[in-house]
Amino acid sequence: MKIGMPLSYAGGFRETADRLTEFEDVGLDLVMLPEAYSYDSVSQLGYLAARTERVELSASILNVYSRSPALIAMTAAGLDHVSDGRFVLGLGASGPQVVEGFHGVPYKQPLGRTREVVEICRRVWRREALDFHGDHFDVPLRPEDGGSGLGKPLKLINHPVRDRIPIVLAALGPKNVALAAEVAEGWEPIFYHPEGAAEAFGEALAEGNARRPADMDPLQVVADTMVCVSEDPDEIAAAEERARSHIALYVGGMGARGKNFYHDLATRFGFGEEADTVQDLFLGGRKAEAVAAVPDALLHGVMLIGSRSHVAERVAAFAASGVHALNATPLSRTHEGRVADVAALKEVSA
């Protein structure tokens, strides 16, 4: 199983990048750069490409609204070039909080938009003259759609390192998960619960895999999680508190009632009543109580926190349910502890 790790986009990036070789030395396979509404991840991925030699570099994720499909394709080809073929393009719809609240772009029809972005990227990487007219994008822009009529189909000037850069789709809803299984090399779910995965995602994955082209390799599953490997009860308790806060924020606060993807996911995992409680408390301003209300079974189902033997058992459960890579946030407060967490996770997943 591959071991990945996200780097913070909010602060401490340069310091972590300076020490990234230490994570490489203990077996880190993949670095994943989030992008929300802080620094863009592209500039930081370029910086990491120059500072690393072996580790794969992934956007996690670029949303499909704030950049044109051609720009996403150009960016991916450029990052693949400067990293000598180590780039993975993580794409997703993000959500209305970021897309509308920060970029000022209507959050509409994410499924169809994502499908067309994937298709356009692959055409660009194959250096085809880009002549694409779908439901969401028209390239070149035609006069009937507001164009001048002067645009002509163009192809990428450069020859990409690879004409098929791996695409990983971040998806939670059934239709988006089915799309990932149909068209992408990988799928990145958040809060992946091995024991609840078949109920939450099985039907959607089967639907998408039934439409997956025969010449594509099997879908790779990259599960987001958090990790703390320790025999110290106090250290475990501190890590659990951080993880509970993270779950409570997403399940309780990322969206309104009836429009929260993460609440819906917890419900599909079988924690509907508990998710309602967390959401009610969080939206009511009682955040500490919302954190305390996150059930132990959900916390330990989706996170890797505890003794070495416990974490090894949970990693085995992830693998048995079909996970190929873990995007694991180390929860230690120190750099040395975070390196040790990654090292232990790599060892128990071998």
User: For residue range 59-81, what is the model confidence (pLDDT) as tens digits?
Assistant: 999 999 999 999 999 999 999 99
Quick check: 174 and 189 in contact, CB under 8 A?
Answer: no
| pLDDT (tens digit per residue) in 218-253 | 999 999 999 999 999 999 999 999 999 999 999 999
- Sign of the alpha-carbon dihedral angle for 12, 103, 111, 152: negative
Structure tokens at 206: 């089967």
**Is the predicted pLDDT of residue 153 greater than 60, yes or no?**
yes
Q: How confident is the model at residue 11 (pLDDT cuts 50, 70, 90)?
A: low
β-pairing, 186-188 vs 167-170, is parallel
pLDDT per position as a tens digit, 304-334: 999 999 999 999 999 999 999 999 999 998 9
Reported pTM: 0.94
| Domains defined for the chain, CATH in brackets | 2-218 (3.20.20.30)
Average pLDDT (45-64) is 95
Mean pLDDT to the nearest integer, 154-172: 97
Q: Report the pLDDT value the prediction gives residue 16, as an integer from 0 to 100.
A: 78
Q: Among the residues of 152-294, which ranges form H helices?
A: 174-183, 194-211, 233-248, 261-268, 272-283, 287-292
Report whether pLDDT(10) > 60: no
Residue 188 has pLDDT above 80, yes or no: yes
